[in-house]
Amino acid sequence: MDVSTISRVLWLRRTLSQRERWTETQLRDHQRRELAKVRAFASARSPFYRRFHDGLAEAPLAGLPVLTKAALMDNFDEISTDPIVRLADLQVYLDGLHGDDLFRGRYWVSATSGSSGRKSIIANNRQEWAMILASYLRANQWAGIRTGPAHRVKMAVVGSTTPWHQSSRVAASARSPFIASERLSAAAPLPELVARLNKFQPDVLVAYGSMIRTLACEQLAGQLTIAPRGVNSSSEVLTAEARAAATHAWNTAPFNVYAATETGGIAAECDQHRGMHLFEDLVIPEVVDDDYNPVPPGEPGSRLLVTVLFSRTIPLIRYEMTDRLRLADRPCPCGRPFRLVESIEGRTDDVLVLSAAAGGTVGVHPVVFHQVLDLLDASGWQVQQQRRELRVLVASPGAGFNAAATERDVQVALVAAGVLAPVVHLSVVEAIPAGPSGKRPFVAALPTP
């Protein structure tokens, strides 16, 4: 990271810190001002938004249409506010990306892995990228990790090493005189990960939720011997079992971080561990049901709409994400004005649709499997949906593992969830297979042969 970017990020982080002491009235006033700015900018510079929001200049945010990922990618060139940012050129750039080179020397470009359907591509200018880095720095500081000229840290990021993945781009950008960043692939063999972490000895460990549990088990088994001062979980749901294992392994509770390629940081835990504070000064979140009606605190939504207040290159106004959030119905004792996310139940795309005992189909959320498979003495698990059956992979189970009993437990849980006579086959594997981004999802719908 160059000196000017470092200075900008540190200045933005100080600005964000001041906002954390705002009253709720100050926060809502800020949202109204910034929302008006991004709407005006999008209407003036984006042909798509001029059509999409035609006649809606006086409409409230909830009165604007929803921008889906498909609409974003189908209309990308007209959504872009810079004529040099065109989808075909970005795809060519990403195909040849090595290191941290910028598109046309001006834009950081990231893409999703496509694990929740169609891939999306986002370009960020220098100001936008600095804000994204500041949002992650906020999460680190809430986790008790101070970084700066007087506080040098070694940070290991176990995630994707694909150059276009945002975790890779952030890790590359974070390298500075006071942050030594080591990127490790979550798809690498576990012994290799353990060896590299033991050699690096990070002060901060950042990893996918499923990897947190796996590494904690390696620590408890005596194979991994690191002593991080902070542990951050990102990109996947952090289960209670993974949290407990990490706390036991490193004598420090992990901090949950919620982020996305399109937004950067969205929410993070403070030291109260009562849930994740939404970064409402950066993003306006709307938890909604399938009909895009708002869902009250305490009830899970079907999806999340986000309006990114600092987005200018690719404005995102009521952009649809398939995450199922439940907002808390009480404030955090820490006093920050940001609302709490009580839980993220996974993406709606993770919900398996199976034949229902009562006829038709029923959606089965991953929590059904967590209730059974998280109790296993194993390094990981995955449920794969095939045409007429579910295949359950269990990685390196302990000596007392009973495959037949686990199959029955999964079947009983599915029947209790309303599924018709499920066929379940269990296989013991050495390691859970990783997808293109290095993630090992708990639930995977495989293409039928």
Helix (H, G, I), strand (E, B) or coil at 73: helix
At 351, the pLDDT band (50, 70, 90 cuts) reads low
3-class DSSP assignment, residue 356:
strand
Which range among 59-73, 230-244, 350-364 has the greatest average pLDDT?
59-73
- 171-204 pLDDT, tens digit each: 778 777 778 888 888 767 788 999 999 999 999 9
Residue 200, token pair as written in the block = 């690096």
Ordered DSSP codes for 314-327: S--SSEEE-EEEEE
Q: Is the pLDDT of residue 386 over 60?
A: yes
Per-residue pLDDT tens over the stretch 298-344: 999 989 999 999 999 999 999 999 888 999 999 999 999 999 999 88
CA 184 to chain centre: 17
Range of 116-120, 257-261, 434-438 with top mean pLDDT: 257-261
Phi-psi region of 105 (alpha: psi -120 to 50; beta: other; left: phi over 0): left
Amino acid in the structure at residue 42: A
Q: How far is CA 91 from the centre of its chain?
A: 22
Q: Classify burial at 359, counting beta carbons within 10 Å of its beta carbon; exposed 0-12, middle 13-18, buried 19 or more.
A: exposed
Range 44-71 average pLDDT: 97
Q: Return the residue matching tokens 């209730």.
A: 371
Q: Name the pairing type of β-strands 230-234 and 361-364.
A: unpaired
Answer yes or no: is pLDDT of 19 > 90.
yes
What whole-number distance in Å separates Cα of residue 149 and Cα of residue 322?
Answer: 39
Nearest to residue 33, comparing CAs of 252, 309, 268? 309
Residue 259: per-residue pLDDT: 92
Orientation of helix 126-142 relative to helix 3-19, angle to 10°:
60
What count of residues does the chain have? 449
223 burial type by CB count under 10 A (0-12 exposed, 13-18 middle, 19+ buried)? middle
At 220, list the tokens: 């408890």
Q: Is 446 helix (H, G, I), strand (E, B) or coil?
A: coil
- SS3 for 339? coil
Q: What is the pLDDT of residue 383?
A: 92
Q: What is the pLDDT of residue 54?
A: 97
Q: For residue 252, name the pLDDT band (cuts at 50, 70, 90).
A: very high
Q: Give ∠ CA 284-285-288 in degrees, rounded to 5.
A: 145
Query: How close are the terminal C-alpha atoms of the chain, in Å?
Result: 46
Q: Which helix (H) or strand (E) holds 139?
A: helix 126-142
Residue 117 reports pLDDT greater than 50: no
Could you say which DSSP state residue 102 is in?
P
Q: How far apart are CA 259 and CA 138, in angstroms?
A: 12
Residues 162/165/166/171 CA torsion (nearest 10 deg): 0
Report the half-sphere exposure of 292 (CA within 13 A, side-chain side).
14
Residue 236's alpha-carbon distances to 111, 258, 330, 365, in angstroms, are: 17, 8, 24, 14
Q: Cα dist. 216→125, 182, 243, 295 in Å?
A: 37, 19, 9, 36
- Helix runs in 46-74, H state only: 47-52, 69-74
Which token pair is 180? 């030594």
Cβ 81 vs Cβ 47: under 8 Å: no
One-letter amino acid at 99 equals G
Q: Is 127 helix (H, G, I), strand (E, B) or coil?
A: helix
3-state SS of 212-248 is: HHHHHHHHHCCCCCCCCCEEEEECCCCCHHHHHHHHH
Q: What is 3-346's CATH superfamily?
A: ANL, N-terminal domain (3.40.50.12780)
Residue range(s) in the chain whose domain bears CATH number 3.40.50.12780: 3-346
Q: What is the DSSP letter of 434?
A: P
Q: What is the pLDDT of residue 373?
A: 84
Beta-bridge partners for 131: none
**Chain center to CA of 129:** 17
Domain spanning 351-445, CATH architecture: 2-Layer Sandwich (3.30)
pLDDT, residue 324, reads: 85
How far apart CA 394 and CA 382 sit, in angstroms, is 7
Query: Boundaries of CATH 3.30.300.30 in the chain?
Result: 351-445
Per-chain mean pLDDT for the chain: 88
